[in-house]
Chain A
Amino acid sequence: MEENLAPGALVGQTAPTGALAHAYVRVEPVPSLPPPPGTVGAIGWVRANLFSSPANTALTIVAALLAAWVLPGMVSFLLTDAVWSGADREACVAKNGVLPGACWAFVKDRISFFIYGFYPIDQRWRVDLFFVLGAIGVGWMLWQNAPRRDIGMIYFLIVLPLLSYWLLGGNSWLGLSAVDTARWGGLMVTLVVAGVGIVASLPLGILLALGRRSKLPVVKFFSVMFIEFVRGVPLITVLFMANTMLPLFLPDNITVDKLLRALVGIGLFASAYMAEVVRAGLQALPKGQYEGAMAMGLGYWQMMRLIVLPQALKITIPNIVNTYIGLFKDTSLLLIVGIFDFLKAIETARVDPQWAAPTTSATGYAFAAIVYFIFCYGMASYARSMERRLSVGDKR
């Protein structure tokens, strides 16, 4: 009945039914007019987003000019003028005095070196398997609807590191020959170092953050000391300390693996930063959450595990991912202590006389940028979707 009422009828609630018969009362709503042509479709979007105000218009024009200035050169260097195949530098040298674009033939020739470094060629399937196992672990952990994520957690945190260690380093029980870490290199080392840093820094960082806010003086003192000391020195100093000074302090017959030293250095460094990120989350929580948890009769660890940390970590997701991305890129500092990470592999290959040509270096760096971007953007995108999912409750 109600939907047949004329709008006028609603105003006069007590109007008699006979009023409907009056000619000046509409029985049907006016058909809605289409929105003004300037506010819909492509034009509307452009007006709303690009030219909504004088300042915005100016910005748009500047950005467009900038793009027009940079993009054509970039496209012609990276794509249209690029050299895609060839056996050596002859393919990428100037033809009739004209320089070619990016020398992708160089990347194509050296791609296996960029990925595997010095890893023995007949054993490289082990690295491939490591990539696959790692991808399974990451996928299992990140995909919300994956089955048995509890097993996935065990796989990711215990099985995968052990398996990777045996797979890459060798294990006599599994019949895998030993491969010295001096022969590891390329993307594989970058992923191993970043992976270890990422996996180790969160739990360690949480413990340090809790320690820093602890009421136990000794725990608090050591946490503060560790965090402040490690944060107070640059990563490059930590790496130098680990790689140059440490061997001098150790007895003669003990040599700790070079990569391991760097791994421990990076892991500890990342934990100190992570601790401060987590502490920010802990402090952002209202005191009532702690008091409520205590009033429920929860013990310290129960309170942390069930009430405080889930909320605190959620708040700091952007910062945690920020630290991860920073860590991923910081792995390129390893080249200074002579470890062949992905960037170092490119750095080394670009000066090889076989490929040294005017555009080789630029190509190598462009390739590095693309690969680093893919990984970092991947991390950032996942974090964004995670934030959206977790913040549903806040938007109610």
Chain B
Amino acid sequence: MKKLLMTVAAGAALAMTASAASAQTLNQVKQRGVLQCGSNTGLAGFGQPDAQGNWTGLDVDFCRAVSAAVFNDATKVKFVPLSAKDRFTALQSGEVDLLVRNTTWTMSRDTSLGLEFAVVNYYDGQGFMVRKKLKVNSAMDLSGASVCSQQGTTTELNLADFFRANKLKYEPVIFATADETIKAYDAGRCDVFTTDASGLYAERLKLTNPDDHVVLPEIISKEPLGPSVRQGDAQWNDIVKWVHYAMVTAEELGVTKANVDEQMKSANPEIKRLLGVEGKFGEAIGLTNDWAYRIIKHVGNYGESFDRNVGAGSRLKIARGVNALWNKGGLQYAPPIR
């Protein structure tokens, strides 16, 4: 009986997924008049409500950018806070049109969950934080160190792999929760604190003297975070992908929120194509030709969004690092618009 029920449930789930995917997401969004964006339930710098209850953050900005491209209005977003457990079902069942919730792009997720990762909007990865007075400049100098990390996450595994691969000795000090881990590091129970780099900066703020600690440059794991959409709607996938590329291209070309109106008169053919002065690139993905202009006007380019939410302009002060543009030593690279 139980087996039969499970089969029926799984079948129903699959059928739902299939029917949801074949529907035209863009039309649904336009008809509804609001974009439903699966967001984090609170992650510093990525999706976080402020004192007035407005969502802010890098992932939140991405949702707003999609809304700006579709509606010419960055506020037509309904944020649906999702936990790590129900995020994929929410996307599969059509509760959200788009999932932007610091989700790591992995092969198993990409191939078996009925969803499609569109693009990477933040390259995260595990990093290390140490006390400045230890005068350590590289993770390679950490031999013999005691390392605080959280239990049962991939963090623990990556840590072991890194030290073994580099033939370094270390002593793991493991805690159940993130709060305990950072408390122990602050109290001096260990020399090194490790978690994903974006988290390192957020946790650093909880230390007694944040300025006495430094994040090492090495990133020892790959955690590409990006928005995902339901499988089978190529147009919607393209829109989400190109919203990010437009923001990156704008940064590359120096088009900002402040100067975008001026740039409309630019003679640079790349800017002309980006802002829709030339060509019909927007119409090709079901939007208007000024789609990128709208994004930059309402939200800004990638660099601006990064700065404001997690970078130098925010309290987290995360270095651009691998998230810098490709021509500045980073990985953010957008295919040309032409």
Instruction: State the A residues within 8 Å of B (CB).
Output: 89, 93-94, 97, 99, 109-110, 112-113, 116-119, 121, 180, 182-183, 185, 240, 243-245, 247-252, 255, 258, 335-340, 344, 347-349, 351-354, 356-358, 360-361
Q: How many of chain B's residues have a CB under 8 angstroms from any CB in A?
A: 46
Contact residue among A97, A249, A352 (Cβ-Cβ distance under 8 Å from B209) = A97
From 25 to 63 in chain B, residues with beta carbon under 8 angstroms from any chain A beta carbon are 41-45, 48-55
Bound Cα distance A291, B208 (Å): 72
Contact residue among B48, B53, B210 (Cβ-Cβ distance under 8 Å from A116) = B53
Task: How many A-B residue pairs have C-beta atoms within 8 angstroms? Tell me.
Answer: 127
Cβ–Cβ contact A353 & B85, under 8 A: no
Whether a CB of chain A sits under 8 angstroms from the CB of B82 is yes
From 179 to 206 in chain B, residues with beta carbon under 8 angstroms from any chain A beta carbon are 179, 186, 202, 205-206
CB distance from B3 to the nearest CB of A (A): 17
Cβ–Cβ contact B202 & A356, under 8 A: yes
Whether a CB of chain A sits under 8 angstroms from the CB of B312 is no
Cβ–Cβ contact B89 & A247, under 8 A: yes
Bound Cα distance A113, B54 (Å): 10
Cβ–Cβ contact B179 & A361, under 8 A: yes
23 contacts between A and B (CB under 8 A): A89-B205, A89-B315, A110-B51, A112-B52, A112-B53, A117-B53, A240-B85, A247-B89, A247-B93, A249-B9, A252-B94, A338-B41, A338-B81, A340-B81, A348-B48, A349-B49, A351-B42, A353-B205, A356-B44, A357-B206, A358-B186, A358-B206, A361-B206
Contact residue among B12, B52, B94, B316 (Cβ-Cβ distance under 8 Å from A353) = B316
CB distance from B45 to the nearest CB of A (A): 7
**Chain B residues with Cβ under 8 A from A121's Cβ?**
52-53
**Chain A residues with Cβ under 8 A from B209's Cβ?**
94, 97
Contact residue among A248, A337, A344, A361 (Cβ-Cβ distance under 8 Å from B93) = A248
Given contacts A248-B93, A358-B186, contact A337 B53 (CB under 8 A): no
Cβ–Cβ contact A248 & B16, under 8 A: yes
Bound Cα distance A109, B49 (Å): 13
CB distance from A111 to the nearest CB of B (A): 9
**Chain B residues with Cβ under 8 A from A356's Cβ?**
44, 202, 205-206, 315
**Chain B residues with Cβ under 8 A from A352's Cβ?**
42, 44, 48, 50
Cβ–Cβ contact B53 & A119, under 8 A: yes
Bound Cα distance A348, B43 (Å): 8
Cβ–Cβ contact A94 & B208, under 8 A: yes
**Chain A residues with Cβ under 8 A from B79's Cβ?**
182
Whether a CB of chain A sits under 8 angstroms from the CB of B319 is no
Contact residue among B43, B53, B316 (Cβ-Cβ distance under 8 Å from A185) = B53
**Chain A residues with Cβ under 8 A from B173's Cβ?**
none
Closest to A116 in B: B53
From 215 to 247 in chain B, residues with beta carbon under 8 angstroms from any chain A beta carbon are none
Whether a CB of chain A sits under 8 angstroms from the CB of B92 is yes
Whether a CB of chain A sits under 8 angstroms from the CB of B136 is no
Bound Cα distance A264, B81 (Å): 20
Cβ–Cβ contact B316 & A245, under 8 A: no
Cβ–Cβ contact B41 & A180, under 8 A: no
CB distance from A51 to the nearest CB of B (A): 41
Cβ–Cβ contact B53 & A113, under 8 A: yes
**Chain A residues with Cβ under 8 A from B53's Cβ?**
112-113, 116-119, 121, 183, 185
